Structure 1
Amino acid sequence: MARDAQENTVMFKKGAEEVSRAREILVSVYEALKEKGYNPINQLVGYLLSGDPAYITSHKNARSMIRQLERDELLEELVRNYLERG
């Protein structure tokens, strides 16, 4: 009996290089938002939920940097960091 493809769990792994890049971008964007007087957490959440780059300042090229990665890559880094430290 064949198993339905929807029942199988898909696995993927990112290389250390990709994880490091996501972390560097998140930290840089966080710092740029903070420097401009924004609440970086709120702004990043707004961007991650909506995909609208207007949530991210262009200060220090932050908007351009964050758009170099897909939102799922950023979320993966945030979840990994949260769970590994918790």
Structure 2
Amino acid sequence: MQDNSNTQYFKVQKEPEIQVSEVIATIFTALTEKGYNPVNQIVGYIMSGDPTYITSHKGARSLIMKVERDEILEELLENYINTRLTK
């Protein structure tokens, strides 16, 4: 019989930190491969929060839901400012 008078401990493995830039690149590739306009589809997702804008090809839909929409928007805007406006 097992002694249940002591506290039991267990460790939960954390998922590796997901980089938003990697998520965007993967989503872009999946959408392009399926023949969608990636800009239109990503904008639709950011504006509505509806994951059906993103294809499930290559796990893209599941992946995009692992990051917050505001994080995606922040990454895109930061990249735009750094590449276009601060030269």
Q: Report TM bin, short chain.
A: 0.7 to 0.9
The alignment of Structure 1 onto Structure 2 pairs a total of residues equal to: 68
- Calculate the TM-score normalised by the size of structure 1: 0.77
1:75 corresponds to which of 70, 73, 76: 73
Deviations 1:21-51 (A, max 9, x none): 0000001000000000000000000000000
Q: What RMSD over aligned residues (CA atoms) do the two structures have, in Å? A: 1.2
1:66 corresponds in structure 2 to 64
Q: Structure 2 regions of 5+ residues with no counterpart?
A: 1-16
Residues 26-79 of structure 1: CA deviation (Å, up to 9, x unaligned): 010000000000000000000000000000000000000000000000000000
| Equivalent position amino acid for 2:51 in 1 | P
1:45 match: secondary structure: helix
SS at match of 1:57: coil
Q: Deviation above 2 Å: which 4+ runs of structure 1?
A: none
Identity of aligned residues (%): 57
Q: CA separation in 2, counterparts of 1:29 and 1:69?
A: 12
The residue type equivalent to 2:36 in the other structure is: Y
Letter of the aligned partner of 2:73 in structure 1?
L
| Letter aligned with residue 77 of structure 1 | E
Greater Rg over alpha carbons, structure = 2
1:3-82 maps to which residues of 2 (within 5 A)? 21-82=19-80
- Give distance in 2, aligned partners of 1:74 and 1:59: 19
Q: TM-score, normalised by structure 2?
A: 0.76
